[in-house]
Amino acid sequence: MVLQARYADVPIEEKQRLFDQVKADERFESYLYGCYECGICVAACPSARFYDFSPRKIAQAASREDLPMFYEQLNDDIWNCSQCFSCTRCPRGNNPGGLITIMREVSINNGLTSAKNALEGYGRVVYKIMSTGTQVSPDMLQPNAFPDWGPHVQEISDNLALWRRALPPDTMHTTSTAWEVDDKTLTELYLIWHMTGVLDMIKQVDTGLHMILNDVMEELLEEAGFTPE
Amino acid sequence: MPIPLNVLDTRREAREERGPAVPPTEDVREKVFELEAKGEWLVQRVPDPWIGVTTKYGRIKKIPIARTWHHKSCGQCGHIPGYSTAIFWLIRKLGLDYNDPKDQTSCTAWNYYASATSNQGAQAAVAMRNFGAAYESGYFPMIHCGTSYGHYKEVREELVHSAPLRDEVRRICDKLGKPFVMPEEIVHYSEWIYAMRDEFAKRRVLDLSSIDVTVHPACHYHKLVVEDAIYDPDVYGGQRTAVVSSVVTALGANVKDYSTWFDCCGFGFRHILVQRDFTRSFATLRKIDVMREEANPDVVLTHDTGCVTTLDQSQFAARAHKPNVGIPVMSEAQFAALAMGAHPYRVCQLHWHSTEYRPLLEKMGIDWRERWREFEDDLERLKKDDKAYLTWEDADA
């Protein structure tokens, strides 16, 4: 079959190993109940309108344990998903978007090249959320980052500090974070990243970012008397 | 073509004839209390007084009126600051007590749904750390972001059904010195706005009877843990969530229907940041274009961070080849605040929005030129360091 000819060079054992990791996730069972092939999920899916992407095929491959198709999806499809969960309209109660969340995690944990490619240019966002506790900051509004949003981005960028001072809530005068986050709060967040293995996940896809994050976190954690495990 | 409402009427009649049905899903809140009884965690009660609202399958959800701990949204505070400010302004206008904490992180779910550089344990720990912080403050969590709200409800389901996950996260909370607490309800700010809509209507100062509105229901509000979202048989026959639409009606404006209401906005989490060709195409072709064609609204109202961002910011580039775009976008909180006389710049901060909104303000009866002049005077005072920040007193001056 033409579709399954892709990645034919990857041993079936490797495909099985990765599929087993997906299936071992405790959410897997509650995300998949079989598939009628009715296509309601595809009709509701935004990504299906603009990409060669089908949530129905995700549910199908997972329920049939179709390893060649699963592996192809793991590399070529999952990053197209919008994670809007419109597909939860499924009459069987399937959650193809949830399956994709698990597949993405497995993809990151195994440092797949497709995951690294999909996240190219995304490192600054991971850095922001993991190091500051807020993902979106006012100073991300730069015209070179959002040229398609129009000239008002330049205006915001030019007036950023002043416009932030013109906000009545006390917590929102910041420019490098969305709001003011206490140092103690950040310390706690860093501990969470360490204790749950998230930093190890980052290492799989971006060693440079991992090193920078470790450095940033180390100082605050040591000041607070914690030694990362 | 808009969905014919007679279909909804027929369904409603059938439902009335059939009588109340047994909800097809469990009530996870019962499990939350069972776990408390077993000593697994504390449950933070919704403070009195609260308002009972109806969720998808007819259950009652408690919405606290006051003493709320505001779990802010990074996208709102960062890029649409008038969104968060308007929520706080509405609370203050009603004279209610609230807490705007610094001991709060983002839910980190935007990143999780975009990059998967996290895992179940970390996501649950972030949620429970924030819930613990709210409990310590004595205020009840109110979630500003639709994604945080939907994700936290997923986390609640996962924690309820997984003892190993509870153990992992309890161990982390112990290490952090945070209490292990689950709130009795997970409440989105738009549910509070819905519950308080009649109070806003009483305080309305603008005539909005000529304002046509299309509503975009946020995916992570009504598609994640669907049974917990608010529905009302009188709003689209109970076939769509009642939040936002009911507020528009209460304020005297007109809700206009359009056929792609269920579609997402195109945000995509990863796409909005690094693959916006998809986001722009979807937002304009499947949402804005359709709304213009079928409803020709004066404004699009929605109730989540990513939806306001996507629907608003995507329209600029589309202007190059699509004259049909150009509908202003804001949250229902900003719209309600404007209706109650809030300043469009000091409070609603509309200068952070992209799509032209000034014709809308004129139609609402707001003198935006005068209001902008006032705001420019504020900025001059800040520049001269006459004062460090604009205050709530300035906002209502």
Each residue's pLDDT tens digit, A210-220? 999 999 999 89
- Which residue out of B69, B105, B350, B393 would a mutagenesis test of the A interface target, given it has the greatest number of A Cβ atoms within 10 Å? B105
Amino acid making up residue A160? L
The pLDDT tens digits of the residues spanning A139-168 come to 999 999 999 999 999 999 999 999 999 999
Give the confidence band of A59 by pLDDT, cuts at 50, 70, 90: very high
**Which of B85, B150, B220 is the closest to A168 by Cβ?**
B85
**Minimum Cα–Cα distance from B224: chain A residue:** A85
The mean pLDDT value of chain A amounts to 94
Considering chain A, tell me which residue range(s) the CATH 1.10.1060.10 domain(s) occupy: 12-118
pLDDT at B86: 98
Q: A85–B122: do the CB atoms touch at under 8 Å? A: no
**Distance between CA atoms of residues A103 and A85, nearest Å:** 15
pLDDT at B1: 43
Geometric angle at alpha carbon B270, from B265 and B275, rounded to 5°: 85
pLDDT at B18: 80
Contacts of A83 in chain B (CB under 8 A): 113-114, 268-270
Q: A122–B274: do the CB atoms touch at under 8 Å? A: yes
**A-B Cβ pairs (cutoff 8 Å, strict):** 258
Identify which of B372, B218, B373, B212 has the alpha carbon closest to the alpha carbon of residue B298.
B212
**Distance between CA atoms of residues B218 and A131, nearest Å:** 28
Selected residues 267-286 of chain B with any CB under 8 Å from a CB in chain A: 267-271, 273-274, 276, 278, 280-282, 286
Selected residues 294-353 of chain B with any CB under 8 Å from a CB in chain A: 313, 316-317, 346-347, 349, 351-353
Q: B110–A51: do the CB atoms touch at under 8 Å? A: no
**Distance between CA atoms of residues A18 and A11, nearest Å:** 11
Token output for A92:
């069987």
pLDDT at A19: 98
**Which of A86, A150, A172 is the closest to B77 by Cβ?**
A172
**Distance between CA atoms of residues B226 and B23, nearest Å:** 12
Contacts of B282 in chain A (CB under 8 A): 46, 49-50
| Nearest chain B Cα distance for residue A154, angstroms | 11
* Whole-Å CA distances, B262 to A96, B5, B273: 17, 16, 23
pLDDT at A228: 57
Using an 8 Å Cβ cutoff, are A136 and A97 in contact?
A: no
Token output for A112:
């797949």
Whether the CB of B175 is below 8 Å from some CB of chain A: the reply is: yes
**Which of A120, A173, A193 is the closest to B122 by Cβ?**
A193
The third-level CATH classification (topology) of the domain covering A12-118 is Fumarate Reductase Iron-sulfur Protein; Chain B, domain 2 (1.10.1060)
pTM of model > 0.90: yes
**Which of B100, B112, B316 is the closest to A169 by Cβ?**
B100
pLDDT at A3: 53
Which CATH code fits B28-189? 1.20.1050.140
Q: Does position A4 have pLDDT exceeding 60, yes or no?
A: no
Contacts of A148 in chain B (CB under 8 A): 276, 280, 313, 316-317
Selected residues 32-61 of chain B with any CB under 8 Å from a CB in chain A: none
Contacts of A162 in chain B (CB under 8 A): 379, 382-383
Q: B165–A26: do the CB atoms touch at under 8 Å? A: yes
What is the domain class of B204-373 according to CATH? Answer: alpha beta
Q: Does position A193 have pLDDT exceeding 50, yes or no?
A: yes
Burial of B150 (0-12, 13-18, 19+ CB in 10 A): buried
Contacts of B352 in chain A (CB under 8 A): 156, 163
Selected residues 228-257 of chain B with any CB under 8 Å from a CB in chain A: none
Q: Which segments of chain B have a pLDDT < 70?
A: 1-5, 7-8
**Domain parsing of chain B, residue ranges:** 28-189, 204-373
Amino acid making up residue B269? F
Q: B268–A178: do the CB atoms touch at under 8 Å? A: no
Whether the CB of B375 is below 8 Å from some CB of chain A: the reply is: yes
